[in-house]
């Protein structure tokens, strides 16, 4: 589902289905590897061949993690038959809960309840909004969304993102900037959590990639390894995973049915 406001369908900037699938697989693998009982095993084909029990396999479809992440949008449809609308960065049933343009960027403000809305008005120095009968409750703010957002948007344009973030500190209202990619990888939290992993690639030299998002207190992953080049692990897969003999592997290589990339 693409959360845009108007216009033709758009593609996300990344393959979200693949990302969510990989996170799910990482959690599943960790569950079987470090579970509460010593009998748990990673769900592999080898395990199934030993037990002949299909429950040892854990299929993860590309679409299922996406559907599972639909949250309240799925609940609205499944329980009330309500089709989703396109809201851009806004929330369908909470106002204000979206991104706002500032003098030099954008900021996201999430006023999830009436108390937080009052705090937003205090920070913005728009106290008159707290007394307006059209905005007393979230239900009323949703009904009068257009005029309220017009007023808030005009106010946010009068300040810079960093200034607004400073003003909101300690307010109890969740806020955050909308970063460029450069700003993402300069963020102190990204650096503190060592999300950027550097390594040597056999053909590209020194490279950097984002590390795994899931961390476990009882398990530390090994050092990062570079993405393989095409055919780098052909012999390893044939021998160790598929249990091909050295003679069969040699025949496949000589016939050029497969190729082994010789990398340093």
Which domains, ranges and CATH numbers included, belong to the chain?
16-80 (no CATH), 97-178 (3.30.1540.10), 180-217 (no CATH), 228-264 (no CATH)
110 vs 5: which has the higher pLDDT: 110
3-state DSSP call for residue 64? Answer: helix
Task: List the single range of 1-15, 51-65, 94-108, 148-162 with lowest mean pLDDT.
Answer: 1-15
Q: What is the mean pLDDT of residues 222-238?
A: 90
pLDDT of residue 57: 58
214: its two tokens: 């899931």
Q: Where are the beta strands (DSSP E) in the chain?
A: 97-101, 106-110, 175-177, 196-201, 205-210
Instruction: At 207, give phi and psi (nearest 5°).
Output: -130, 165
pLDDT at 229: 92
pLDDT for position 37: 43
What tokens appear for 224 in the block? 């990062």
The answer to whether the pTM exceeds 0.75 is no
Q: What does R_g of the chain's alpha carbons equal in angstroms? A: 26
Please write the tens of the pLDDT for every residue from 26-44: 666 666 555 544 444 444 4
Where on the phi/psi map is residue 59: left (φ > 0), alpha (ψ -120 to 50), or beta? beta
């Amino acid at each position: 589902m693409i959360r845009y406001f108007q216009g033709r369908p758009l593609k996300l900037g990344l393959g979200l289905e693949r990302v969510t699938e990989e996170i799910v697989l990482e959690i599943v693998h960790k569950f079987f590897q470090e579970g509460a009982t010593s009998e748990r095993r990673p769900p592999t084909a080898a395990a199934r061949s030993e037990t002949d029990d299909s429950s040892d396999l854990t299929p993860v479809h590309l679409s299922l993690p996406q559907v599972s992440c639909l949250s309240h949008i799925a609940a609205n449809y499944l329980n009330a038959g309500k089709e989703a609308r396109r809201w851009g960065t806004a929330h369908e049933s909470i106002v204000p809960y979206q991104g706002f343009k500032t003098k030099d960027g954008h900021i996201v403000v999430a006023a999830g309840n009436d108390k937080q809305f009052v705090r937003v008005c205090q920070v913005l120095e728009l106290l008159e909004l707290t007394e307006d009968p059209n905005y007393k409750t979230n239900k009323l703010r949703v009904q009068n969304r257009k005029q309220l957002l017009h007023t808030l948007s005009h106010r946010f344009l009068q300040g810079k993102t960093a200034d607004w973030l400073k003003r909101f500190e300690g307010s109890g209202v969740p806020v955050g900037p909308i970063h460029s990619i450069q700003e993402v990888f300069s963020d102190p939290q990204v650096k503190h959590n060592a999300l950027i992993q550097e390594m040597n690639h056999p053909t590209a030299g020194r490279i950097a990639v984002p590390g795994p998002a899931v961390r476990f207190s009882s398990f530390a992953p090994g050092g990062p390894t570079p993405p393989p080049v095409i055919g780098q692990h052909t012999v390893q897969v044939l021998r160790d995973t598929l249990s091909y003999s050295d003679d069969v592997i040699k025949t496949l290589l000589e016939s050029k049915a497969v190729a082994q990339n010789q990398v340093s």
